[in-house]
Structure 1
Amino acid sequence: MQYRTVPKNGDALSALGFGAMRLPTRFGRIDEARAVRQLRSAIDSGVNYLDTAYPYHNGESEKVLGKALRDGYRERVKIADKLPHWQIKSREDMDRILDLQLRRLQTDRIDYYLLHSLDAKSWKKLAGLDVFGFLEAARDAGKIGNLGFSFHGDRKTFREIVDAYDWTFCQIQYNFLDEENQAGREGLEYAASKDIAVIVMEPLRGGMLAAGLPKDVQEVYDASGSARSPAEWALRWIWDHPEVTVVLSGMNDEAHIAENIRTCEDALPGCLSDAERAVVDAAAASYKSRIRVNCTGCAYCMPCPFGVNIPQCFHFYNQYHMGGSRMLTRGFYIAQVIGFDDHPANASLCRSCGKCVRACPQGIAIPDELQKVSRDLDGFSTKLMKPLVKMLMTRRQKE
């Protein structure tokens, strides 16, 4: 395992962090036994930075992580967890939520504690509620260790937050499609210049850069002459940056975990040649020509009051326009989003209430985009195809 040093405290953190946002599921809930095996196996392979948050898996992520860290595993890792600003109305709320997180995690200390998903509005809100007083009191009491924040706003606000406090670390969205989005490369370099460790989230953009690639993107990688997978290309591109301390991967498949660990071992700063960087640049250009909605699948927009599964709608909408079989994409949309019961989650259910817009870290005009999804995926062709998909699904279940 490769380790990188946190400038302000000297901690050697695994360059690959385990993100517990997308743990394996079964029948709609975390597959606890499998998740525990995966987490412990990753720790046994040298991963020592585990990231969770209050809302992940509706609060179950923290609980499962706590169970996985029994039997001596807790002492081998650093836990990162986050204060959800949208749940905070008073200083008392901060203390209450932190105490609940400690109970869920079955620990008396969270090593790396973040203000979750800050932007200009949430930053102003928390600052007005004396969040620094809370953080310092909790640190003095030994409940939390290093202080940081995760970010989904504009670069001006990012600089303002960086300059407002002596942070140990921060967490930003960064991948080869997001060099100019949110904090971007400018924010990455600015934080590093202040000796703030940078944790990278969404390195594969919710899996979009790893699987189901458009034909022309795959051709770019094939032409390189390298046997690397798309995920490896994307991860190596980030680890190539010396300013990056940890790359979080929301891992839930054993083969993917093993591949990421292997990749991390020699993906040191400066590991890519100029020719290899050109390959990634070409892949990025191909993606950018096709993407309709820049959604990472973070699900901060959920739940929708009207039942729309917004991330899934955008996932299949992007897939529909990114190459491959449109008929197959429509079939999956029917099976996984519309469904065959009394709880559909398709785009046409949107009533433009605006709740999702206020919650979206990407600043997406979600209701407007859902209208486009509905136009392409909720129309007459879908209605005709639904009985066929239901028949095929029924047959598969019987087999």
Structure 2
Amino acid sequence: MIYKKFQDLELSALGMGAMRLPIIDGDDSKIDASATQKMVDYAMEQGVNYYDAAWGYHDGNSELVMGEALKKHSREKFYLATKFPGYDLNNMPRVKEIFEKQLEKCQVDYFDFYLFHNVCEMNIDSYLNEEKYGILPYLLEQKKAGRIKHLGFSAHGGYEVIKRFLEAYGEHMEFCQLQLNYVDWEFQNCKKKVELASSYNMPIWVMEPVRGGKLASLPEDAEQKLKALRPEETTVAWAFRFLQSLPQVTVTLSGMSNFEQMKENIATYSEGKPLNENEMKTLLDIADGMLSGKLPCTACRYCTSHCPKGLDIPALLELYNEHSFTGGGFIAPMALSALPEDKKPSACVGCRSCEKVCPQQIKISEAMADFNAKLKG
């Protein structure tokens, strides 16, 4: 197992994410506790020492099952992370209640790592509202009391949201957890997000390294290009090798849902094999090819000055591209939930004024209609 230095700790470069644990009868709330125990035991045996749970994973059962699976191991042998569930605004007044319950569910006296969960457009105002909710002050109290060893945050939000959070709370944050993979390096502006975190000397934890399984297999021509460069490497391993090539990355979390996935990923992390310049270019070219169907908006903003509804068309098109490529998901709906109704895709009146000035000749009105239909469907 590769280890990375974080302050005075040695963390396994591969961490076990507990969002996609093995389940029974396809029911996400019914975790297969026996299979999970087997995976945790094997991970511990192979040197994995970082385990990442959250309040909402598996309908609230992830922390329970992980707490039970880890308790048979010495507390000094693993680092446990969980998060305050601010993705649901109803939780904002409940930080003390939830934190105490999380300790109980996980059967521990302290968390090694604790995060503001999913800082995004929808919740940034509430997270930063200390007068009303006091989330940061409470978490800093727990850190002072030794019940939180290291404080950080995860984010699926856009660059500007992360920037705003860091400007407000950066001095208190020790690490940043981002959705990061070779497709999102440019697609979700992850390169710029990593640079932002680096400007605060903040190490990166990675989530969605294979984009929910989307990078586990590629078009045949793409796989052949990779095989020509590294015949022994699996397609999934390429996604991890990309992350091993980024010096800012400390821990990569993988939500492994069966024992075979775990064995394969641990084998990959038995040694570091970062990409050379040619390999990196080939992989990023493959990512570009996967995104060839996205709308080519350059955010020139000619369109916005001609929209009678005042829509932020470039931002909406960016979300449309994300939603279309992912085939749904929560990122676009989450970001749109922060907008008033008259600024959402449904507010487009189809006048096509924007299209007359679009240098890329994007059929914006059709994209807005399709986006609205996708969101409703």
TM-score, normalised to structure 1, is 0.71
Residue in 2 that maps onto 1:392: none
Q: Deviations over 1:78-115 (max 9, x none)?
A: 11101011445577510001111111101111110000
Distance 1:370 1:43 in 2: 46
Distance 2:144 2:221 in 1: 54
Residue in 2 that maps onto 1:24: 22
Does 2:157 align with 1:160? no
Contact 1:173–1:183 (Cα < 8 Å) also in 2: no
Structure 1 residue 261: Cα displacement: 1.4
Residue in 2 that maps onto 1:144: 148
Report the CA distance shift for 1:187/1:134 in structure 2 as closer, same or farther (over 3 A). Answer: same
Structure 1 residue 194: Cα displacement: 2.1
Contact 1:220–1:282 (Cα < 8 Å) also in 2: no
Unaligned stretches of 5+ in structure 1?
Answer: 293-316, 321-346, 348-353, 376-399
Does 2:192 align with 1:189? no
Report the CA distance shift for 1:59/1:367 in structure 2 as closer, same or farther (over 3 A). Answer: farther
Residue in 1 that maps onto 2:85: 84
Specify the SS of the correspondent of 2:240: helix
Unaligned stretches of 5+ in structure 2?
Answer: 296-323, 347-367
Specify the SS of the correspondent of 2:58: helix
Specify the SS of the correspondent of 1:206: helix
The Cα RMSD (Å) is 3.1
Partner amino acid, structure 1, of 2:216: A
Residue in 1 that maps onto 2:301: none
Residue in 2 that maps onto 1:203: 209
Distance 2:376 2:90 in 1: 36
Distance 2:334 2:264 in 1: 38
Contact 1:111–1:146 (Cα < 8 Å) also in 2: yes
Distance 1:90 1:178 in 2: 29
Contact 2:5–2:250 (Cα < 8 Å) also in 1: yes
Contact 2:87–2:119 (Cα < 8 Å) also in 1: no
Report the CA distance shift for 1:46/1:182 in structure 2 as closer, same or farther (over 3 A). Answer: same
Residue in 2 that maps onto 1:275: 278
Report the CA distance shift for 1:258/1:370 in structure 2 as closer, same or farther (over 3 A). Answer: farther
Does 2:136 align with 1:132? yes
Contact 2:183–2:284 (Cα < 8 Å) also in 1: no
Specify the SS of the correspondent of 2:162: helix
Partner amino acid, structure 1, of 2:337: R
Number of aligned pairs?
314
Specify the SS of the correspondent of 2:66: helix
TM-score, normalised to structure 2, is 0.75
Specify the SS of the correspondent of 2:128: helix
Distance 1:368 1:101 in 2: 41
Structure 1 residue 183: Cα displacement: 5.7
Residue in 2 that maps onto 1:301: none
Q: Deviations over 1:335-359 (max 9, x none)?
A: xxxxxxxxxxxx9xxxxxx789528
Does 2:11 align with 1:5? no
Contact 1:221–1:283 (Cα < 8 Å) also in 2: no
Residue in 2 that maps onto 1:382: none
